Amino acid sequence: MTTAVRFENYSWRYSRTKEQALKEINLEIEEGLLVGVIGPNGSGKTTLAYSMNGLIPNQYNGIRKGSVKIYDEEVTEMDQAQLCQQVGLVFSDPEAQFTAMTVEDEVVFGMENMGLTYQEIEERLDWVVPLTDIEELMEKPPYEVSGGQKQRVALASVLSMRPPVLMLDEPTSMLDPIGRRRIFDVLGRLKREYQSTIIIVEHSLENLIPLADLMVLVYEGEVLLVDETEPFFQKLDYLMEHHIYPPGVLEFFHHLKKSGDYPEASALPESVGEGEKQLRRLLENKA
Amino acid sequence: MQKMNKTILGYVPEESPLYRIHPFVRLLFLMVVSLFPMFISSPEWNFGIILLVLAILVYSRVNLKTLRVYIPLSISMGVLILLTHTVLGGRHPEFFVAFRIFDFPFYYERIVAAVDVYARILPMIFVMVLFLSTSRERDILVAFRWARIPFVVTYLGAMALRSVGMVIEDFSIVRQAEKARGFDPQGKSIRYKMRQFVMYIIPLFALALRRSDEFANAIVARGYSFTGLKGVDRADYILHQYEFRTRDAVLSGIIFLSLIAVLVARYGFGYLSLDDSLTVQLLESLLKGGAQ
Amino acid sequence: MNEKQPFLTVRDLSYRYEDGTLALENVNLTLDDGDFVALIGQNGSGKTTLSKCLNGLFKPTEGTVMVDELDTRKTSITKMAVRVGYIFQNPDHQLFNGSVWEEIAYGPKNIELPEEETRERVEEAARVVGLDPETFEKPPFFLPKGIRQRVAIASILALRPRIIIVDEPTTGQDRRQALEIMNFLVRLHEERDHIIVFITHDMPIVSQYAKRIVLMGEGHVLADGPTAEVFAQPDKLEETFVEPPQITQLAQAVEDLGFDPGTLLVEEMVERYRELKG
């Protein structure tokens, strides 16, 4: 399988701080996976994201060491045009991302920058607009659009450029639960319909876990743990030591595992539905 | 009651026959017709422009109640113009004294001059109000883009509008935050209220600064670097949504022709002048009549 | 003898915006000592509007809000600010003074406290939020976000309001930061007798910290009661698109097996499981 993203001994320190933001990161992400990146605030997740699409080092001052490669091409050797067509980035603040005066203008912005023709833009809109569910919003100005809707617009705007690597930096942290749910619905659909590598930095594990193929733990500038989702969360104690708080269902079954009530070999349920199934099995067996 | 939608700059009707006219034509109307009062000295003709604008406003289904905000402005401006021309205009023995108030002379020539100025400014305001009341932000941007104004300029304009919108939202929250800390401007001195100004500016600035960083990232991440990507022709997709029809060309033609007509009437034939106008004749009979 | 009135009483409160939309309708509510309340509901349910009616930022279009026997419609903002404090979500919306000290002292100065007392209050507030005195002379803007937040909170605490309303204290925070803030609010509540009202979307936090929930939907109070009770009414919650925390959902899904639909914490669930297992 091809490696979409590769960090090799990558370090970054912002010029205004004394601490290293990222320390000798080594990370390989195969194409086609949906990857969850988690860790406490300030651990370097955003720096990691920005390093992938060139915002670091192009927009920020600091000291860079090592390499970041997208499909084997070094980020610092790609110009802005190539970078934004290779890696799309959705930011966490819905307000500060929306720079145009209508939704349509916003979605079309990236495509116009790429120099696509009118027909090509139309075609891509036909794909991206229903996917992100923003048909009714197209004529609206930003102040008539909610935060959750703005994030879907941002997603549409980035997706329309069809980057093979899509990054989302805490896309739902400023949204209410409905907005959050809808973003994850779109991401789920995206995973099925769009063959690309999707990397999501998130705090909302509840929504992330069912979707993620691979999980990465970033802590104090280092990548401490990388694994497929199931084995990743088997190490719950380790995660909790590093301030990762699992969703309720997961934590519950983890306790049961520790006390021997739940088989060691079995996977921890990742949703309420699965949890219910397992719980019934456990309790009905006793009778 | 016609439903109006809020924009950053005012209120626009939800539906309007004016929307069928290309935004560029509406912008042209604004730019050309607001020039008319510069060439038309006759007050009744200028007031005629106001009537024309009012007629268009009604035709466009603008809810006139939303224009009530402009009434105090119009009145206070008229008063201000009158005052500066008369009371603050000093004494001029060469002028004709129309009447006196508390022994201060009000000169006929000055009053005429005040009416002249007011009659020019008011239509300009009305035309601007018409434009703002019938154009959503998108229309304004489309008008500029269609006029081949460079993309950077219109995009910056769009971002400015967007920022203004966000600043307005921020402003209301900042005001609330200050109140929540006991700041009560009611019944306080002017100095206190000026301090208020500083209180608002600083947080608004700080918020805008932080936001501009994120704005910049969002734009760069989608490939724009303000000189555009190398050799890229922008498709300008939005423009395709608006068709410039024959009707629009005809209207543009009419607008230009009327400008020419005004210029010819004024400079070619000497019409539309101040001294020959009915208004001045009226004022003359009111203020001067019987005297001498 | 007259029964003491609750500190804050909302009676038949309705609030209509200038453009005519009805944001709140017939809201009735009381707040008193010992309350630690979560105000929840989807965006647009009226929870933020309600919270701003509580400290007089918004005046009721109908009905009354009485705080410490003062009517918010007839009381000055300054008088309200010393009774009901409001901590906004983004500290940058209020910081404007040249130094941290001046920022915290701003409130006391507004209510015209003598210098000595102002100094006491500033030092006390700074201590409570954990601000290093070294920061006193620094301008707030250049400090990191966490510190700016503390300064903003301290500036409200310096007014010593009995009620403190906090707008989305945990949004955008990671779990550990969220717990820190909530623990701080608990300390304010327990050690300094503040009544705490917090607006939030974070249900696990609500179940862990709130003693009482006020659930808003379309301008009405849909539910008002102890946390477990409110979470045990999934139909009410659904009306306003609120989902109880995962563990509560799990408990509700297996209610027939003997679990309590008002389960709030994982530990409770584990205990119950052990009991049922025998």
Q: What is the DSSP code string of chain A? A: --EEEEEEEEEEEETT-SS-SEEEEEEEEETT-EEEEE--TTSSHHHHHHHHTTHHHHTS-EEEEEEEEETTEEGGGS-HHHHHHHEEEE-S-HHHH--SSSHHHHHHHHHHHHT--HHHHHHHHHHHHHHHT-GGGTT--GGGS-HHHHHHHHHHHHHTT--SEEEEESTTTTS-HHHHHHHHHHHHHHHHHS-SEEEEE-S-HHHHTTT-SEEEEEETTEEEEEEEHHHHHHTHHHHHHTT----HHHHHHHHHHHTTSS-TTSPPP-SHHHHHHHHHHHHHHH-
Q: Give the model's pLDDT for residue B269.
A: 83
Give me the amino acid identity at B110: R
Q: Is C60 exposed, middle or buried (0-12, 13-18, 19+ CB in 10 A)?
A: buried
Cis peptide before A57 (omega within 30 of 0): yes
Does B173 sit within 8 Å of C88, measured CB to CB?
yes
Closest CA to A186 of A220, A148, A144, A216: A148
* Token pair for B173: 């929250």
Does A102 sit within 8 Å of B218, measured CB to CB?
no
Which pLDDT band, with edges at 50, 70 and 90, does B290 fall under?
very low
Q: How, if at all, do strands C212-217 and C36-40 pair?
A: parallel
* B181: nearest CB among C76, C90, C110: C110
What's the gap in Å between the CA of A30 and the closest CA on chain B?
22
Residues of B within 8 A of A121 (CB-CB) are: 235, 237
Q: Give percent above pLDDT 70 in chain B.
A: 95
* C278: nearest CB among A41, A248, A286: A286
The reply to whether C82 touches chain B by the CB within 8 Å rule is: yes
* C110: nearest CB among B182, B202, B210: B182
pLDDT tens-digit readout, C137-174:
998 888 888 899 999 999 999 999 999 999 999 998 88
Overall average pLDDT of the B198-222 stretch: 87
Residue B164 contacts by C-beta under 8 Å, 6 or more apart in sequence? Answer: B8
Closest residue of chain C to B179, computed from CA coordinates: C77
Q: Give the model's pLDDT for residue A272.
A: 92
The larger pLDDT score, comparing residue A134 to residue B160, is at A134
Rounded Cα distance between A136 and A138, Å, is 6
Closest residue of chain B to A140, computed from CA coordinates: B138
Q: Give the model's pLDDT for residue A286.
A: 56
Mutant choice from B144, B237, B240 vs A, greatest count of A C-beta within 10 A: B237
Contact yes or no for A88/A163 (Cβ under 8 A): yes
pLDDT tens-digit readout, B78-102:
999 988 888 887 778 788 888 888 8
The reply to whether C102 touches chain B by the CB within 8 Å rule is: no
Does A255 sit within 8 Å of C250, measured CB to CB?
no
Rounded Cα distance between B184 and C159, Å, is 15
Q: What is the ipTM of this complex?
A: 0.88
The count of residues in chain C is 278
Phi, psi of B94 (to 5 degrees): -75, -15
* C201: nearest CB among A41, A176, A255: A176
The larger pLDDT score, comparing residue A218 to residue B15, is at A218
* Token pair for A28: 């390989």
The reply to whether C95 touches chain B by the CB within 8 Å rule is: yes
Overall average pLDDT of the B99-112 stretch: 83
Contact yes or no for B246/B21 (Cβ under 8 A): no
Phi, psi of C173 (to 5 degrees): -95, 155
Q: Give the model's pLDDT for residue A65.
A: 95
* Token pair for B207: 């918020």
Does A283 sit within 8 Å of C277, measured CB to CB?
yes
Residues of C within 8 A of B184 (CB-CB) are: 76-78, 110
The larger pLDDT score, comparing residue A259 to residue B9, is at A259
Q: Give the model's pLDDT for residue C261.
A: 92
* Cα dist from C235 to C13, C18, C227, whole Å: 25, 33, 15
Chains that contact A by 3+ CB pairs under 8 Å?
B, C
Which 8-state DSSP code applies to residue B232? P
Give me the amino acid identity at A100: A
Rounded Cα distance between B193 and B182, Å, is 14
Rounded Cα distance between A218 and A48, Å, is 9
The larger pLDDT score, comparing residue B113 to residue C165, is at C165
* B223: nearest CB among A80, A104, A154: A80
Rounded Cα distance between B266 and B244, Å, is 32
Contact yes or no for A48/A22 (Cβ under 8 A): yes
Does C85 sit within 8 Å of B180, measured CB to CB?
yes
Rounded Cα distance between C199 and C164, Å, is 11
Overall average pLDDT of the C37-57 stretch: 93
Which 8-state DSSP code applies to residue B100? E
Domains and CATH numbers, chain A: 3-241 (3.40.50.300), 247-287 (no CATH)
* C241: nearest CB among A170, A178, A252: A178
Residue B72 half-sphere exposure toward CB, CA atoms < 13 A? 2
Closest residue of chain B to A56, computed from CA coordinates: B217
Handedness of CA C134, C139, C145, C147 (dihedral sign): positive
For all residues of chain C together, what is the average pLDDT?
A: 92
Rounded Cα distance between A84 and A76, Å, is 13
Q: Give the model's pLDDT for residue B1.
A: 56
Does B222 sit within 8 Å of A109, measured CB to CB?
yes
Does B202 sit within 8 Å of C57, measured CB to CB?
no
Q: What is the CA radius of gyration of chain C?
A: 20
* A283: nearest CB among C246, C249, C276: C276
Interior angle at CA B101, CA B95 and CA B105, nearest 5: 15
Does A247 sit within 8 Å of C246, measured CB to CB?
yes
Question: Longest Cα pair distance anywhere in chain C, in angstroms?
Answer: 66
Closest residue of chain B to C75, computed from CA coordinates: B184
The reply to whether C270 touches chain A by the CB within 8 Å rule is: yes
Rounded Cα distance between A44 and A203, Å, is 14
- Whether residue C68 has pLDDT greater than 90: yes
- Whether residue C201 has pLDDT greater than 90: yes
Give me the amino acid identity at A241: E
Q: Where are the domains of chain B?
A: 4-142+245-287, 150-241
The larger pLDDT score, comparing residue B108 to residue B185, is at B108
Q: Give the model's pLDDT for residue B291.
A: 44
3-class DSSP state of C162: coil
The reply to whether C251 touches chain A by the CB within 8 Å rule is: no
Q: Give the model's pLDDT for residue B225.
A: 66
Closest residue of chain A to C44, computed from CA coordinates: A146
pLDDT tens-digit readout, B228-252:
555 567 778 888 888 888 999 999 9
Q: Give the model's pLDDT for residue A287.
A: 45
Residues of A within 8 A of B208 (CB-CB) are: none
Beta bridge partners of C16: C22
Q: Give the model's pLDDT for residue B235.
A: 78
Which pLDDT band, with edges at 50, 70 and 90, does B136 fall under?
confident
Give me the amino acid identity at A179: G
Residues of A within 8 A of C254 (CB-CB) are: 276, 279-280, 283
Q: Give the model's pLDDT for residue B243.
A: 85
Q: Give the model's pLDDT for residue C1.
A: 46
Does B211 sit within 8 Å of A102, measured CB to CB?
no
Residues of A within 8 A of B240 (CB-CB) are: 118
Mutant choice from A101, A123, A137, A151 vs B, greatest count of B C-beta within 10 A: A101
Q: Give the model's pLDDT for residue B227.
A: 56
Rounded Cα distance between C169 and B67, Å, is 41
Q: Is B54 exposed, middle or buried (0-12, 13-18, 19+ CB in 10 A)?
A: middle
Q: Which residue has the tokens 């983890």?
A: A254
What's the gap in Å between the CA of A283 and the closest CA on chain C?
6
pLDDT tens-digit readout, B168-205:
888 889 989 888 888 877 766 777 777 777 778 888 88
Q: Please report, in angstroms and rounded to a whole number, the separation of the first and last CA atoms in chain B.
A: 55
Q: Which residue has the tokens 């918004």?
A: C58
Residues of chain A with pLDDT under 50: 287
pLDDT tens-digit readout, C224-268:
999 999 999 988 898 888 999 999 999 999 999 999 999 999 999
3-class DSSP state of B180: coil
* A59: nearest CB among B138, B169, B217: B217
Instruction: For chains A and B, count residue pairs whose Cβ atoms are closer than 8 Å.
Output: 116
* Cα dist from C21 to B147, C61, C218, C219, C230, whole Å: 39, 12, 11, 10, 28
Residues of A within 8 A of B215 (CB-CB) are: 96-97, 99
What's the gap in Å between the CA of C116 and the closest CA on chain A?
38
Does C277 sit within 8 Å of A252, measured CB to CB?
no
* A276: nearest CB among C253, C273, C277: C253
- Whether residue B15 has pLDDT greater than 90: no
Q: Which residue has the tokens 């974070």?
A: C202
Does B182 sit within 8 Å of C111, measured CB to CB?
yes
Does C173 sit within 8 Å of A206, measured CB to CB?
no
Residues of C within 8 A of A147 (CB-CB) are: 43
Residues of C within 8 A of B174 (CB-CB) are: 93-94
* A243: nearest CB among C43, C176, C273: C176
Does C159 sit within 8 Å of B181, measured CB to CB?
yes
Handedness of CA B264, B266, B267, B271 (dihedral sign): positive
What's the gap in Å between the CA of A113 and the closest CA on chain C?
31
Q: Which residue has the tokens 């119950």?
A: C272
Give me the amino acid identity at A35: V
Residue C239 half-sphere exposure toward CB, CA atoms < 13 A? 16
